[in-house]
Amino acid sequence: MSIHESASAISKMLSANDTGETGAHQAGILVPKDPTILGFFPVLDTSLKNPRFYLNFTDDAGERWEFAFIYYNNVFFGGTRNEYRLTRMTPFFHRHGLQPGDELILQRENPSGRLRIRYRRNRVTSRSESGRLRLGTTWKIIQI
């Protein structure tokens, strides 16, 4: 498996579901099927049930973190799921005290290809007209 040569950095504004604040059980952060975002991750063999690839990231303190990039494709094997997820991130979130609204940044350093993980605190949020807290949680490609 190889990593695409497209996006060298992507980011996601974390939601309450991502950080575990809702108490809901989910398997990691949902990764959209957008080719520009998927291009950051390794190509997975979709002929296999729930293929995965383990990625090793380094944070700014030099600590290594292993996350799993998984395509839950069991819809093609008699199940219901058809989605990409980045899993095994909870320890990283807890260690750094990440909360909804914080921005997660994943970066591939060129030319080495070394993977880095960073975050930006972003406690500035907005409230919709209904008074409910609204956070943007979409993935995006960023320039580093």
Identify the CATH class of 9-141. Answer: mainly beta
Regions of the chain where pLDDT drops below 70: 1-7, 25-27, 123-137, 140, 142-144
pTM: 0.80
Q: Which two tokens stand for residue 11?
A: 């980011």
Cβ neighbours of 112 (radius 10 Å):
7
Residue 2 amino acid letter? S
Predicted confidence at residue 6, as pLDDT, reads 58
Q: Which two tokens stand for residue 19?
A: 């950080």
- Please choose, from the candidates 118, 141, 37, 116, the residue with its C-alpha nearest in 3D space to the C-alpha of residue 84: 37
Domain boundaries along the sequence of the chain? 9-141
The string of pLDDT tens digits covering residues 37-74 is 999 999 999 999 999 999 999 999 999 999 999 999 99
Predicted confidence at residue 54, as pLDDT, reads 98
Predicted confidence at residue 67, as pLDDT, reads 97
